[in-house]
Amino acid sequence: MKNRYNLAAVLSAVVLVCCGALILSQKVSAAGEGKITGTVKLDGPAPHMRGIDMSKDPYCVKANAANPAHMETVVVGKDNGLENVVLYLDGWSGQADVSTAVPVYDQKNCMYTPHVLGLDVTQTFKVVTSDQTAHNIHPLPNPMINVGWNQSQPPGAPPIEKSWKNPEVIPVQCNIHPWMHGWFVVVKGPYATTGDDGSFTINNVPPGNYTVKAWHEPDETQTQKVTVAAGQSATANFTFKAK
Amino acid sequence: MRTRLQTWILLGVAAIWALPLTSWAQLTTEDIASRENMESHIGNVTGHVNGLAKYDYRRYCVVCHGQLGDGEGESAKWMDTPTYTKPRNFQLGVFKCRSTPTGTLPTDEDLFDTIARGMDRSNMPQWSQFTKQQRANLVAYVKHFSPRFATEKAGTPITIPPEPEVTPERIKAGQEVFARVQCWKCHGVQGMANGPSASTLTDDLGHPIAPFNFTEGSRPKCGDTDRDIYRIFMTGLDGTPMPSFADNIKPDEAWDLVFYLRTFMQQKSKAKEIAKKMDLKPVSANP
């Protein structure tokens, strides 16, 4: 009788240890995720960004009176760092980035903030308006890839929550204010967008060999091969030629 | 005798025309044919792609909408002005006149109604002389051009509450909605299509497009009943700059706006008669 109890105890201990090992091993691999960091720079003098004539809408003129708005096709910061570059892993076959972050796309002072919004496929994002003038938010995907829509956002409008099904670079525009032009860059897997100093960090990258792709509007891309070791940080720096 | 300069100018103009405004993938005949089992359901009538639809499409539709439904029929190149829009590209599955929310496919009835109604201020005539079966077949035929109809369901039509009685209060309230959501940005404070943003509007393919002028007597593109007008601003006209206002206008307010819009229109209406006695001033363009 006693032996049988012993056997049961040993068996349950074995099961427990196995379960624990399984859980731990998963945690171990999560902790093994590395990251890719780097800086994107512009080679050459930053091109002149022309000012925007907003006289169509007195509200917009007033909102930008202190700090006149300029085109944002090429935005260069400290040490020629290039802003608004989206970096992602080309040919990513893993799970979609399970980030629960809900990025916000704001219509502020009759401009899009940010100008470029990186997104994972199916990641929810919010479109809001901070302006006291009516906008319409009108993304223009290729209808063969994603389904477009067009919604009004008058002053005080509630946020719109949306997501995109497939990877695509989607231009977005406001028809009321024709200078308002931005981008949704929808990719698969981990991604990052450069800040005003051109730096970026792609988090949650499992160990392995990758091709990092850097996208800058309208359709300029560069790639670079990197190897990410468990728990380590790999580096990828990019340089875009000034035009 | 043509001078050399004239030749160069002609060549330059030809080159600009040859540049596509937006290059979206073109479907092949095989891809389209793979959807030949597409059906449409209008009440108890079922429309089919194979059979008579093909002949009707070739006889009546192909000259504008094209063999592949891409809107590039042989007459299409003559239709490219702000007030006469290009024929619809059925491959994209994007339609103006829907009872369904923005970003969704129209119902079979929506397409069926569009065929009969035609499109005012365009080259799309009314095909109301067709039998119900003919039109249902053409709906199936239009749908089979787009892969969207094979994978997606039509959107759920928006609910339109019964039309209330028009009153001076409702017209006034409608004017407040018109001012609040800023319809005048494009349509102008008197509905004359001369708002500050009217001149720069383009459709999804980059072609210039004009906002609707309420005052010149033509019908709105997606129908001229009160319910049609209600639907237009609550669903938006996909493919054009006209957005959906569904998030920002409550159903009851939407009827108020319909009544106010009626006061701009030449067509006789009760709202117009009431408004005559109200001495309404246009809204201010600088709130």
A132-148 per-position pLDDT tens digit = 999 999 999 999 999 99
How far, in whole angstroms, is CA A99 from its chain's centroid?
Answer: 11
Whether B204 is in a domain gets the answer yes
Query: What's B71's domain CATH number?
Result: 1.10.760
Q: Please check whether residues A73 and A96 belong to one and the same domain.
A: yes
The minimum CA-CA distance between A58 and chain B, rounded to whole Å, is 8
Let me know: does A162 contact A121? Beta carbons within 8 Å: no
Residues 172-231 on A with a CB inside 8 Å of B are 175-178
Q: Are residues A117 and A136 in the same domain?
A: yes
Domain boundary among B122, B151, B180: B151
Q: Give the end of a domain, one of B151, B183, B214.
A: B151
Check if A133 contacts B (Cβ < 8 Å).
yes
B141 and B194 part of one domain: no
Residue A168 contacts B, CB cutoff 8 Å = no
Q: What is the mean pLDDT of residues A78-91?
A: 95
Q: Using CA atoms, how far apart are residues A168 and A141, in angstroms rounded to an integer?
A: 8
Q: Tell me the residue range of the domain where A108 lies.
A: 34-241
Indicate whether A98 and A187 sit together in one domain. yes
Distance CA B139, CA B286 (A): 45
Q: Report if residue B254 sits inside a domain.
A: yes
Q: What are phi and psi of A126, to 5 degrees?
A: -120, 135
Residues of chain B predicted below pLDDT 70: 1-25, 80-83, 287
B146/B174 same-domain check: no
Domain hosting B195: range is: 168-276
* B119 and B205 share one domain: no
Domain count of chain A? 2
Tell whether A143 lies on the interface with B, counting CB pairs under 8 A.
Answer: yes
A138 touches chain B (CB under 8 A): yes
* Residues A76 and A4 placed together within one structural domain of the fold: no
A107 and A206 co-located in one domain: yes
State whether B69 and B146 are in the same domain.
yes
**Residue from B186, B245, B249, B283 to probe the interface with A (highest A Cβ count within 10 Å):** B245
Predicted local confidence at residue A24, as pLDDT: 42
Question: Is residue A18 domain-shared with residue A45, that is, in the same domain?
Answer: no
Are residues B31 and B144 located together in one domain of the fold?
A: yes
CA-CA-CA-CA torsion sign (B135, B140, B144, B150): positive
- Number of folded domains that form chain B: 2
Q: pLDDT, tens digit, for every residue of A19-29?
A: 444 444 443 34
**Number of other CB atoms surrounding residue A105 within 10 Å:** 24
Q: Is B207 found in the same domain as B93? A: no
Query: Which residues of chain B does A178 touch, with a Cβ-Cβ cutoff of 8 Å?
Result: 197, 200, 202
Cβ pair B202:A175 closer than 8 A:
yes
Q: Chain A residues with CB inside 8 Å of B202's CB?
A: 175, 178
**A154 touches B at CB < 8 Å:** yes
pTM (two decimals): 0.86
Does any domain span residue B70?
A: yes
**What integer pLDDT is reported at residue B83 of this predicted model?**
67
Question: Are A23 and A69 part of one and the same domain?
Answer: no
> Does A24 share its domain with A120?
no
* Same domain as B173, residue B147: no
Answer whether B115's CB lies under 8 Å from B134's CB: no
pLDDT at A30: 53
Q: Which amino acid is at A130?
A: S
Q: Which alpha helices (DSSP H) does chain B contain, by range?
A: 4-18, 29-33, 52-56, 62-65, 108-117, 132-143, 148-151, 168-180, 184-187, 226-235, 251-264, 270-276
Q: Which residues contact residue A5 at a Cβ distance below 8 angstroms, ignoring those fewer than 6 apart?
A: none
Going by pLDDT thresholds of 50, 70 and 90, the confidence category of residue A95 is confident
CATH of the domain at A58: 2.60.40.420
Please check whether residue B5 lies inside any domain of the structure: no
In a domain, B158, yes or no: no
* B31 assigned to some structural domain: yes
Contact B182 A133 (CB under 8 A): yes
The answer to whether the complex's ipTM is over 0.90 is no
Domain boundary among B151, B178, B193: B151
Instruction: Tell me the C-alpha distance between A18 and A23, whole Å.
Output: 9
B202 and B129, same domain (yes or no): no
Indicate if B216 and B134 belong to the same structural domain.
no
Bigger pLDDT: A65 vs A32: A65
Same domain, A14 and A72: no
Task: State how far the Cα of A157 lies from the Cα of A166, in Å rounded to an integer.
Answer: 27
* Residue A11: predicted pLDDT: 54
Q: Are residues B172 and B139 in the same domain?
A: no
- A157 and A230: one domain? yes
Hey, is the C-beta of A57 within 8 angstroms of any chain B C-beta?
yes
Q: Do A86 and A18 fall into the same domain?
A: no
Tell me whether residue B260 is in a domain.
yes
Residues B104 and B181 in one domain: no
Do residues B211 and B238 both lie within one domain?
A: yes
**CB burial string A46-73: b at 16+ within 10 A, e below:** eeeeeebebebbebbeebbeeeebeebe
Say if B157 falls within a structural domain.
Answer: no
Cα B146 from chain centroid?
A: 18
Answer yes or no: do A81 and A170 share one domain: yes
